[in-house]
Amino acid sequence: MKLIAGNWKMYNGPGETREFFEKFEPPSGVDVVVCPPFGSIGAAVASGRTIFAQNVHWAAEGAYTGEVSAPMLLELGVAGAIVGHSERRQYFGETDETVARRSLAALDAGLRVIACVGESLEEREAGQMELVLRLQVEAIGESVGAHDGLVIAYEPVWAIGTGRTATPDQAREAHAFVKSLLDVPVLYGGSVKPENAEELLAEDGVDGALVGGASLDVESFTAICRAAASQ
C-alpha cells in the first residue's frame, strides 16, 4: 500500500484545518497522513485521521525553547513525525547528526518517522547526488537501521516549491540508490501534484509521496491519494 503524506508547512490554522477535514474523504487502499503545523495538531487529531508532526526533538523534555518532544506528541494523539526536511536543514541548522538523533528518539518512543533526504541543484549538477544521499541515509541507518516505523522521503531540494519535478527516471534512480543503502520504503517529494502523481507513483521503488503545496487543497490532495490507490 502506498503512503501519501501531506506536509502543510506553516499554513492552515485550526479553523482551516477543521474545514479541510470536513471535506476530506480519502479513498481506500492508500495509507494517508497529514502533517499540520503545531498549532493545528489538536484540530487535526480531532478529525480521526492519521496525523504526523512536522518535527520532533531528541530529548523527552528539557530547556529546548520552541521544540516538542515525542512523549508530548503521543499524548496529543500524533502518530508520527517528519524529520530533517530540507527547509529545516536550510533555515534552522539541521544536520545529518541531528536528523539521526531525532529519528532515533521518535522511533524509540513509538512514533513513525518520515526522514527526508535529497541533494541541491548544485550538488546534482556537480555529480554529487549519490555522495550526498549516502551521507544523509547512512547517518540515519547507522542510528536506527531498517526500523519498521521508518520511511525515507527523497526530496531533491531543487524540486521543492519550485514547480520543477524529477523525471520518473530520475526518481527511480534515486530511490533505487537509497534502497541499496537502507531497506525501507521510500517516498518521492518535490512539486508532486495531480498532473504528475500517477506517473511518478507508477515507478519501481516509489512507495508513495510527500506532498507539499498540493496537499493544502482538498481536491488536489484527494486526487493524488486516488492516484496512489489505483497503483
Name the active-site residue from 57, 85, 147, 175: 85
**Under CATH, which number does the domain 3-229 receive?**
3.20.20.70
At residue 191, the pLDDT reads 87
Return the closest-CA partner of residue 3 out of 184, 180, 160.
Answer: 184
At residue 121, the pLDDT reads 85
At residue 192, the pLDDT reads 94
Alpha helices in the chain (DSSP H): 14-23, 41-45, 70-76, 86-92, 96-109, 121-125, 129-144, 168-181, 194-201, 218-229
Q: Indicate the DSSP class of residue 215.
A: G
Q: Per-residue pLDDT tens, the chain, 231 aa: give them.
A: 999 999 999 999 999 999 999 999 999 999 999 999 999 999 999 999 999 999 999 999 999 999 999 999 999 999 999 999 999 999 999 999 999 999 999 999 999 999 999 998 889 889 999 999 999 999 999 999 999 999 999 999 877 777 777 888 889 999 999 999 999 999 999 889 999 999 999 999 999 999 999 999 999 999 999 999 998
Q: Is 85 a catalytic residue?
A: yes
At residue 166, the pLDDT reads 81
Max CA pair span of the chain: 46
Tell me the Cα Rg of the chain.
Answer: 16
At residue 168, the pLDDT reads 86
At residue 1, the pLDDT reads 95
Name the active-site residue from 87, 94, 155, 203: 155
What is the DSSP secondary-structure string of 65-98?
TT---HHHHHHHT--EEEE--HHHHHHH---HHH
At residue 190, the pLDDT reads 86
Single pTM value for the model = 0.96
At residue 201, the pLDDT reads 96
Q: Is 125 a catalytic residue?
A: no
92-95 CB contacts, 8 Å cutoff, 24+ apart: none
At residue 213, the pLDDT reads 95
Read off the C-alpha cell for 182.
537502507
Helix pair angle (129-144, 96-109), 10° resolution: 40
